[in-house]
Structures are given as structure tokens and as C-alpha cells.
Chain A
Amino acid sequence: MKTLVYYETKKIWKRKATWIIFSLMLLCIIAISFVFVSDQAYYGEDGALLEGLDAISEKRNHEHALAGPLDSQRLQKILQDYQENYVNQNYDSNTDYQQSYIKNVQPYWKILDLIRGVYTPYTDYLTDLATFPYEQAGDFYEARHNNVRAALESGSYTAAEKENILDRDSQISIPFEFDHTKGWETLLIRAFSLLFMLLALATCIMISPIFSYEYQIGTDAILLPAKQGRGATACAKIVAGWIVTSIVYLITVFVGVGVIAATFGVRGWNCDFQILSLYSFYDLQIWQVVLYGIGINYIVILSVMAFTMLLSSICKTPFTTVIISTLCTVAPMFFPASQNAVINHFVALLPAKAVMTYSVFSSYDVYSIGKLVITLPYMILLVAIILGALELQIARRKYCRHQVT
């Protein structure tokens, strides 16, 4: 079996398509990271607009100076300072106004946005906080929890689902720990979905020939009559696919996370996830969400691999396989949200949506099976594992029973 796995792995690595897609993917990741860095902008203390790495560095220093727990009193004070030192000031010139912004708003922007999210949740702009009476802002965490309750009331949730979400929400760690989190924000909100969609695409391309290439070039006729040509070969192909997918996954994630961490820094790793997603009901720190994301997405990518293998065992050519598997994997990314909750629940489990870790851990999608309420990340895992195992089993049987005609 070991020898078979070795040769099956070698077959995948020897294909030009594998190296081309792998190299392209790494190039894409580096290019995307460059874009993420280059579109950063931040005002320096002298009023000059900093860009790229300079902007990241300045912002990191300013926000890190504010690191620490965000208790309600501190939040109320920040809001009060914002209104007194920035909003309610008379400015003689635009320069004064800008200087005040740089000093009183820019470093606090992230925290002020959290406050806005709780007290004026249906608005988009920080300026909406300008007139909110800061005296009423001393109950940040209660108000936030009440907003969660209100959102659940307006949604189509069962009593058990509401209770489950509220229970989880009441258990999140408070006060939130704050620090500079731009790197993690970029990683989770912008980089992750791109990174894992590229990985899914690469998996489709690398794995699609695994069975169908044998049918296409006629080697099925010499493999299948061999003693180990059916069951053992099918298993070896599956193991080889898993090895290649895992290696590519590890390298890609390492490069992707590494480049972001190297450019944005790792500060803020131990902040609460709610700093990035205020209404998330998961009691997790950012590093935990990243790790969960990497873990869940690994299983999702393996399920994409299993699906591609299933198609490969059915289709006569790798080209057909790669077209169908890519379409099925990538297309749901462009599905708009439906009015129908059932459709949304289904779409949320598809790989294109499931790899969007930030959305997954921000979502209020829960699944009821009998009395059991399952949250979206667990449901994704459950579905990916069950479907993946089923698809691999069907692929194996399909290949073993393949007829050379």
C-alpha cells in the first residue's frame, strides 16, 4: 500500500497542472497581500497621510497604546471625550479640524465604532454617535446583549435556538480585551475567503485527474485487472489525494498567514473576537477563531477534494471533472442572500460560503436537529465530514466497478 501511495502521489506531483496552479496560487497570495498593505492609509501626527507599511506601523503604535480591557466606564469616557474634544469644538480652520481628528478620533476609531455598533446599531457612520447622550452609554455590555435579543426576536428562530444563542452570548468574556488588530482583521475578513477559495480551486484542478485521467489515457485497462488494481489502488489514490491536498494546504496557509503576520504584525492575537465582530456570540479570542478557521477550512477543502474525486471517478476526462467541480465549488460564492431561510441555511454550508471564517463566526445561523441546536461552524464540520466520507466511498466503489468499454 505504501508503494502504491508513493506512486499515486508522484503521479499528481509530476503533472504540470499541479505545479502551475500551485505556483500561481502562491503568486496570487503574495500579490493580494501586497494590495492589502498598499491600500492602508493613516494620518501621521504632523497631518501627513501615511500609506502602506508606514501607515500600518503608525496605526499599530497608536492603537497599541490603548490596549487593555474595554470596561463600560472606559467606553463611556471615550465617547464623552469624543463628543467634548472633537464634536463639540469650534474649529477656525480645516487644519484645526483635521488635527483634532488625528488626535481625538483616529486612534479611537475602532473603539468608537464598537460603541456606535451598540448604541446606534442601525447607522453606518461614526458621526451618528455625535449626538448620542454619553451619560446613557454606561451599560455597553447589557445594551449589546439586548441588541442580540432584539435581533433574534425579529428573525425566524425557534425558542430553543434563541435560548441557545442568548445563552452562548451571555457567556462571552467581558470586558472585551482591546489592542491593535488590523492584521487579524485583514486576515479574517479579506484574506481568508480569497485564500481558501484559491485553495478550493487548486484542489479541484490538482485532484480532478486522479481517476478520470486513467480512463482518458487508457491505463484503467492495465490497472483494473491487476491484483491490487481496484480496492487498494482506489484507497491509495484517496490517500495520495489527501497527502497532496494537505501539503498544498499547509504551505498555502503558512505563506498566506505568514505574509499577513509579517506585514501587519501579530498584535491583538489575544483580543476577543467581538473586537472584530461585535455581535458574534462565540466566546473566542481572535487566535482561536483563526485556528478554528484553519481547522474547519481544512475539512471543507478535504470535502472539496472528496467531491472532485467523486466526479473524477464518474467523468471520462479530467477536463470535464475540473469544469464541473470548479463550477460547483466557486459558483455559490456569488449566490445572493435569499428571502428563504432554508435556502440560506443550505447555502451557508456550501464550501464557497463555509470557508468565509469571519462570516461563519459572525453568523446567527443555527441548525435544529430534534432538540439539538447546532451552530454553523459545527454544522459545516458535520456536513463536510459526512458528505466527504460518503463521496469518497462512492468514488472508490465507482472506480472499482468501472468498466472499460
Chain B
Amino acid sequence: MELTFDRLTKKFHSTIAVDRFSYTMSNGVYGLLGANGAGKTTLMRMICTILQPTSGEILYNGNNIQSMGTKYCDILGYLPQNFGYYPDFSAQDFMLYMASLKGIYGRAALERARALLEIVGLSEVSGQKIRAFSGGMKQRLGIAQAVLNNPKVLVLDEPTAGLDPKERIRFRNLISDLSQDKIVILSTHIVSDVEYIADQILMMKKGRLILSGHPAELVERASGVTWTLTVPEQEVSFYEKNACICNLRHTGSGAELRIVSSQKPAPEAVSVPTNLEDLYLFYFAEELGGVSSHSARRM
């Protein structure tokens, strides 16, 4: 099973949301990382055929997904960002409605809906209206509807947004459980969401794929860009203005900074192992409103 992106491009007037994105996915979990506006959602919408590419194509096992029509829809599951729901429907009604949309009817639909509501921990509230659900419950309902048809390609757009840490961990585990024999594409800008469950990380910046690989491999590739440095309190503001600080901890004798920089930020800085979050900051510092990680250095 392969999902291939061939120079996929999407333009909105003069803005390029996705720029010649090329990649091939096979079974596994793919974590799509990028700052807001990087093009993740646009890419996912194109994967789900709800947005037409300006140019390029997406192929599923060699076939253009647009021309596959309902055959492709049959193997697709999608949880969009800001998952829309019908507030007056109960969870069970919603699942049965979604089942009928996915071509599952009658007893099979009922059994599948019940089983999935059990898996996502909503079986006890299946008769309640969705309007009464918390954000986490709605997201779990969202994932349940996405896997109703046991999809081969599962697309999850920011599934953990707005969830508390406990819900996020629960959600990650759920995705991990559901990901067997599937291509799971998971977009987020919360690095820890994909750090443990993704087989491959894809980093997007300004619509382009800038980096891809296994999390450990990416971290390894970026070794030597993370530094720690203890400075007096009065120098903190200098580093805040001139360096990409990913962590700051005040100690009794000053401040301990964790800096991401391609260059040693100060002679006394000590190189430390890089993690995925550091790597993310290394590439997206500017988008996140910080200083470029390529420029910080004290003379």
C-alpha cells in the first residue's frame, strides 16, 4: 500500500499553501509537523479529496485519488481540524449517520458503532447529545467516526488541539492502537504528540517539505545544534533578543538557558543531545516569533 505525492501544489490566489510536495508513504504513522500556516491542513484536505490541487497529484497504489472516486473514499478516514458535529444528535445517532455515509448499514453499522464507542470510551454516554460532550469526548467521537469504515488511509488533522495532557496521552495511545496496517497521517504543531508514535516525521515550512525521516534519525542528523548555558540574570534579555531559547530556568546563581543554534552561542556554552522539540524549534523559530536559530552568537 502506497500513497504517493507527486509535485503536489495548491495556490490560493497569489499565496502558495503547498509547494511541489513530493513524498511516498507506506504503512505506518506519519507525523506532519509545521507551524500554523505551513500548509499541513491544505495538504490533508487534498489527501481527503475535499480540496483540488492546483497542480500535481496524489496516487494511491499508482492510481490518481481524484479519478478513483468512491473507491478511494471507501478506504479513507478523516478527522478534520475543528471537527464539526451535530449538537442535537446523540453519539450513537451520529455514528450511525456517519456509518450510512460510509456505506455501512443496518446491524453491521450498529455493531461497529457500538464497538468503536466502547473503544473510545463513550459507550456509557452514547445516548447523550453531543452538545453536552467535553472537547476530549468530541475528539474521541471524531476519531471513532474516522475509523468506522476501517480505513487504509487515516488522516488526523490536529487531533489533540485543545485537549488536556491526560486526554492527549489517551488519544495518542488510541491512535497507536488503531494504526496497524494503515497509513496514518497525523498533523500537529505539538511535537510530543508525534514523538513517540510516529514512524516518520515530515516537517513542512511555507508549504514545502523541508525534512523527513524517523524521529531518532532526524534527531541524530541534527546533533550539535542544542546548547546549554548558564548566564547572569542581566544577560538573559540579550539572549532572548539574539538567540532561539527553547527553555529558560532561573537558578540561584543566574539563568540556565537551552539554546538551539547552528553555531555555538557563547564560548562557555555546552553541547547537549538534541530532541525532536529542539529540532522543531531549530526550523520554526522565526514562525514562532523567535530569533532564527541560524543566527545566534555572542561575539
Residues of A within 8 A of B (CB): 3-4, 7, 10-11, 14-15, 214, 217-229, 233, 402-405
Contacts and interface: CB of A to CB of B under 8 A. Distances in A.
A219 B97 CA distance: 12
Interface string B195-219: 0000000000000000000000000
Given A14-B89, A218-B80, A218-B83, A227 B48 contact: no
Interface string B98-116: 1011110100010000000
Contacts of A225: 48-50, 73, 76, 78
Contacts of A15: 88
B51 A405 contact: yes
A220 to B, nearest CB: 7
Interface string B70-94: 1001101011101111101100010
8 contacts: A3-B96, A3-B97, A10-B93, A217-B85, A222-B146, A227-B70, A227-B74, A403-B51
B76 A222 contact: no
B50 A224 contact: yes
Interface string B45-74: 100111110000000000000000010011
Given A7-B97, A218-B80, A404-B45, A227 B85 contact: no
A60 to B, nearest CB: 48
Given A3-B97, A4-B97, A226-B73, 15 more contacts: A7-B96, A11-B86, A14-B86, A15-B88, A214-B84, A221-B45, A225-B50, A225-B73, A228-B103, A233-B101, A402-B50, A403-B52, A404-B50, A404-B51, A405-B51
B101 A217 contact: no
A221 B98 CA distance: 12
Nearest to A404: B50
Interface of B: 12, 45, 48-52, 70, 73-74, 76, 78-80, 82-86, 88-89, 93, 96-98, 100-103, 105, 109, 145-146, 149
Given A14-B89, A227-B73, A222 B49 contact: no
Contacts of B88: 14-15
A229 B82 CA distance: 19
A220 B105 contact: no
A10 B129 CA distance: 14
Nearest to A228: B101
A218 B89 contact: no
When A and B form their complex, which 3 residue pairs have the shortest distance between CB atoms, in order from nearest?
A218-B84, A219-B84, A221-B80
B149 A227 contact: yes
B85 A229 contact: no
A3 B95 CA distance: 12
Contacts of A405: 12, 45, 51
A227 B84 contact: no
Contacts of A223: 101
A240 to B, nearest CB: 12
A233 B50 CA distance: 15
Given A221-B84, A227-B103, A403 B98 contact: no
